[in-house]
Structure 1
Amino acid sequence: MKRKSVVLLLLITAVFCLATGAYAASNLTAIQAYLNGEVKFLKDGENWRPTDDNGNEVLPITYEGTTYLPLRVVANVLNIPVSYNDAEKMISLGEGKNVSLYSKQMKTEYSAAKFFDVIDKKQLIFGGKQYNEAFAFSASPGENYSLKIDFGQKYSTLHLIVVAKATMKMKVYNGAKQQLSDEISLVEGEVKEVNVDLKGSQYAEIHPYYGYNSNLSDYPLLYVLKDSFVK
């Protein structure tokens, strides 16, 4: 986390705005506050308006001379991952523990000629190492096929571990089709580990491809090992 972001976050008193369920009455204090539409914001010298994850404007709250914004709004603009554990009533800021693709919070969608959720360990020995599970899906001559992963919340880094069944290339995009990685070259049968800067995204789309001039006649598979993780 950048020092500037830490300092700014500490200077801003914020209210964490999430659907958290009911607190016991003893933990709640009634106050009289006001939505303040007069306050204007600058970010890096440019006009900025606070918005939620759906792009809806969020008005600050004024209470006893202090102006408050939801913590998620502040964290998003500073590119700081934020999450809430309702069971523990715990807010987490910044990079937490690594969360692998084995986690139940991970959801996948694919657009490919072939897709497999591989659990047969005999198929998952690469580079002399045994892996447990993987997503396998086919590459295409262009960037037409993809595996989309929904991490369940925003993260800063994706550590990908992949194995290609033929020489090919790969790119990673976010959920808005914005490119997150350079073109990554993959060698047949070689375990490739790469860090992708997610830039605070909740989604990653992996596009494997081998070029229209390739001699490949089939759609070779790319294995995304579930030991891959986000943080």
Structure 2
Amino acid sequence: MKSTVRLLIACLVLFGLGAGSLSAAAPASVNANLDHRLKFRIDGRDWISPSAPLSYKGTTYLPVRAVSNALGLDIKYEAASGSIIILTGKSGASAPGGGLTAAGEKSRGLEPVVAKADPNLKFLIDGAQWTPSAPPLSYKGTTYLPVRAISGALGLDIKYESATLTIHVASGKSSGTGGSGGSAPSAATLPLFDSRYEQGGYELHTGQSDKLTYAGKKYSRVLYSPEPYQHFYVYPEGKYPVLSLQIGASEVMVVEFLGAGGEKLKTAEIQKGVVSTVTLDVSKFTGDQYVTIYARPFHDNLHGEVYIFDTSKYTNDKEASSVLPEAPKTLPLFESQYEAGGYEIHSGQSDKLTYAGKKYSKLLYIPYGYQNLYVYPKGKYATLALHIASTEAAVVRFTDDNGEQLKTANIPKGTVTEIELNVSKFTGDRYVTIYVEPAVSDLEGEVFIFETSHYK
């Protein structure tokens, strides 16, 4: 039966009375280095850390979750108790506090960064308090501990080979075929945020950020962008065949996966306000080959926030498939792709928002007819229900993208009229032109298209 190593991380707050009270020191910024030189071998096999190790005051630090996944251990975060729980399959693990010193550091392969050292963090291992000799570091939302401290906590043997700058870790498990080739056995899944990636224009949110709650669920880490058109780069490194991306947006979006040469690998539509799972075959992406993930609006009129969640992962499950929320039974026209043409978009405090005694929050308006509106049904709905009005009697004409007339309808003066059009054959970039003209040539009236217009 597996034993549980529980790293309970909590802030140490000292409550006191009077002027002599002590308070906990704030986390301090420290100058560290990402050490791109170091190599790792786990159970005789090469292993590449998804994030470069940190080097601080001669001690090498690794992310706890990445090492656990490399060893095939089960790891999870328990938010209620603030605990990192690791199932090691061993008992009686010791936890020496010493760091692993890499002697003879050279400037080559070191990338200066600013990390956070927090002396207030407390650790409990199997219920007993433990203090590492070197303080834990935090960098880009990931907690790092000294290599030897992690190994000791997990009951591992470790040594450093200075001639080759290689750290050897032995887990005590069977090493399989061994040899210098190949990589350490992969766990069934690897969290995307514990692998190699570049966040591009996204912000990493952790801790108490208000961006961590989405669609009623609380996450511990989220990559967030207040607007689309940002790039996010992932490096599968040939270790897992499938990337399962969990993504959300505040407006309807399209997410595109691009190869290193810019070739389009996959496109998927993301519904607003829900979490969508999109999978991609990444088995051919090895070494430094990367995939670009790019979110853009479903149409240019709506720009929304984009979220990539910490539940995104790599998986060995080749049968995994995308789980996209079903399209709603109706879709407001103004939340779909359209081009306003000569129409004005009115919202906010515009005096055009009240018509026939009803107040609208958004509408398209022109002071007279003879203007075109272009809509793109995308083949997702069978019918367009257009809600339109004119201050004088008018005629509305629907034509396809080849100029062929589809339908003509009369609009009575001063009333809101619903006109339905079959749009089931309009897929991809095909569009419908909506054109309004006066019923009587010398009586030109204002034209309104309302936000209640929709696909169904």
**Normalized against structure 1, the TM-score is what?**
0.50
**Inter-partner Cα distance in structure 2 for 1:97 and 1:176:** 29
Please say if 1:107 is aligned against 2:193: no
Distance 1:215 1:175 in 2: 29
Output the amino acid matched with 2:301.
N
Q: Mark the CA change 1:109 to 1:126 in structure 2 (over 3 Å): closer, same or farther.
A: closer
2:294 to 204, 207, 230: 207
Partner amino acid, structure 1, of 2:262: K
Which residue in 1 is equivalent to 2:230? 145
Deviation at 1:129, TM superposition (A): 1.9
- In the alignment, is the contact (CA less than 8 A) between 1:121 and 1:132 conserved in 2? no
Per the TM alignment, residue 92 of structure 1 is displaced from its structure 2 partner at its CA by 4.7
Q: Percent identity?
A: 16
Q: Deviations over 1:108-149 (max 9, x none)?
A: 141x4xx31111453222232221111113554xxx531112
Alignment of 1:1-231 (within 5 A): 87-88=169-170, 91-92=182-183, 96-103=187-194, 105-110=195-200, 112=201, 115-119=202-206, 120=208, 122-137=210-225, 139-140=227-228, 145-151=230-236, 153-181=238-266, 183-202=267-286, 203-210=290-297, 214-216=300-302, 219-231=303-315
Q: Cα distance, 1:102 vs. partner?
A: 3.0
Q: Secondary structure at the match of 2:279?
A: strand
Unpaired runs of 5+ residues, structure 2, are 1-38, 45-166, 316-456
Structure 1 SS opposite 2:264: coil
Shift of 1:188: 1.4
AA matched with 1:201: F
What amino acid maps onto 1:87 in structure 2?
V
**Deviation sequence 1:32-58 (CA, Å, 0-9, x none):** xxxxxxxxxxxxxxxxxxxxxxxxxxx
CA distance in 2, matches of 1:204, 1:139: 20
Report what 2:93 is aligned to.
Answer: none
| 8 Å CA contact 2:222, 2:310 repeated in 1 | yes
Counterpart residue type for residue 172 of structure 1 = F
* C-alpha contact 2:192 2:312 (8 A) present in aligned 1: yes
Aligned equivalents of 2:261, 2:291: Cα separation in 1: 9
TM-score by length of 2: 0.27
The secondary structure found in structure 1 opposite 2:261 is coil
Residues 86 and 189 of structure 1, relative CA distance in 2, 3 Å threshold: farther
Q: Going by fraction, where is helix more abundant, 1 or 2? A: 1
Contact 1:139–1:208 under 8 Å retained in 2: no
Check 1:209–1:20 CA distance in 2 against 1; reply closer, same or farther (3 A cut): closer
Name the larger-Rg structure.
Answer: 2
Q: Distance in 2 between matches of 1:136 and 1:193?
A: 16
- Determine the C-alpha separation between the residues in 2 that align with 1:223 and 1:164: 6
Displacement of 1:156: 1.2
- Deviation for aligned residue 1:157: 0.5
Query: How far does residue 165 in structure 1 lie from its aligned partner after superposition?
Result: 1.8
The one-letter code sitting in structure 1 at the alignment partner of 2:230 is Y
Task: Go from structure 1 to structure 2 and tell me whether the alpha carbon gap of 1:128 and 1:145 turns closer, same or farther (over 3 Å shift).
Answer: closer
State the SS of the aligned residue for 1:122: coil
Structure 1 residues 87 and 93, CA gap change in structure 2 (3 angstroms): closer
Query: In structure 1, how many angstroms separate the alpha carbons of the residues matched to 2:254 and 2:270?
Result: 6
- Deviation of 1:226 after TM superposition, in Å, equals 1.7
Cα distance change, pair 101–201 in 1 and its aligned pair in 2 (3 A): same
In 2, are the aligned partners of 1:139 and 1:210 still within 8 Å (CA)? Answer: no
What is the CA–CA distance in structure 2 between the aligned matches of 1:124 and 1:109, rounded to whole Å?
17
Structure with greater contact order relative to length (CA < 8 Å, sep ≥ 6): 1
SS at match of 2:265: coil
For these two proteins, the number of residue pairs brought into alignment is 140
Distance 2:212 2:273 in 1: 11
By how many angstroms is 1:197 displaced? 1.1
What is the DSSP-based 3-state SS (H/G/I as helix, E as strand, rest coil) of the residue aligned with 2:295?
strand
Alpha-carbon spacing, 1:179–1:94, altered in 2? closer, same or farther (3 Å) = farther
- Structure 1 gaps of 5+ residues are 1-18, 25-84
